[in-house]
């Protein structure tokens, strides 16, 4: 007989200002235990999607509004996960989102060491806060070859959607992560990124996908 349990969430901001979510299950006898790996993955996604619906209703948040062709990179050959994180940090710095690429790299790497942001299906969403960022920014990266990202489903990653959020904006951080997670899980997202030949056309496809999500919500 399968044991019944309830899922509980707790959100908070850690000492470094990072948005954190703890998900566990409570068994009828009152004990708490970690969720099995894939159950945790599915539940975390559902939590992000719930946040997204709230954010979409209250704030009209659209990922498309945070994107720019200067932060879209297609078919970049990188050897491993560390190189991806370094590329992301340097790209944000080169485009003026932050000043110190090394500082941002350390922040992204620290977040990855807590738990991989490989959410499954070949997608990674490395993210961090930055005291240098004046506004949130998102980078889209299509890798030339899939690589091990320590993803929750162990599938190699070839699509990166990276996020930088200003310091002390935990609610905004969670809302954008929620909206980003929902976009990444929408039908057509992966195919759009993998088939794209031009950054501007890819962003237009993202706009269309988000409009479709809003229409069916």
Q: Which residues are catalytic?
A: 127
Q: Are 174 and 11 in contact (CB under 8 A)?
A: yes
Helical segments of 25-169, H only? 37-59, 81-94, 101-114
The H helix count followed by the E strand count for the chain is 6, 9
Which residues face 143 on adjacent strands? 76
The residue with tokens 């991989």 is 116
What span, in angstroms and rounded, lies between the C-alpha atoms of 73 and 188?
19
Q: Are 23 and 15 in contact (CB under 8 A)?
A: no
Residue 54 token pair: 């709230």
Q: Of 170, 206, 192, whose CA–CA distance to 65 is shortest?
A: 206
């Amino acid at each position: 007989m399968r044991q019944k349990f309830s899922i509980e969430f707790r959100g908070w901001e850690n000492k470094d200002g990072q948005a954190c979510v703890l998900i566990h299950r409570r068994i009828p006898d009152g004990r708490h235990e970690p969720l099995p790996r894939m159950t945790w993955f599915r539940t975390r996604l559902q939590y992000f999607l719930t946040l997204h619906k709230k954010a979409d209703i209250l704030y009209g948040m659209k990922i498309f509004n945070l994107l720019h062709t200067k932060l879209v990179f297609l078919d970049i050959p990188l050897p491993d996960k560390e190189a991806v994180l370094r590329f992301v940090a340097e790209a944000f710095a080169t485009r003026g989102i932050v000043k110190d690429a090394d500082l941002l790299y350390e922040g992204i790497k620290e977040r990855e060491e807590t738990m991989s942001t490989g959410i499954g299906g070949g997608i990674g969403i490395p993210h961090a806060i930055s005291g240098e960022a004046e506004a949130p920014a998102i980078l889209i990266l299509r890798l030339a070859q899939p690589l091990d990202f320590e993803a929750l489903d162990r599938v190699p990653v070839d699509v990166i959607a990276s996020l930088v959020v200003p310091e002390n904006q935990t609610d905004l951080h969670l809302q954008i992560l929620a909206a980003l997670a929902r976009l990444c899980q929408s039908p057509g997202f992966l195919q759009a990124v993998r088939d794209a030949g031009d950054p501007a056309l890819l962003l237009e496809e993202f706009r269309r996908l988000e409009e479709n999500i809003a229409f069916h919500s």
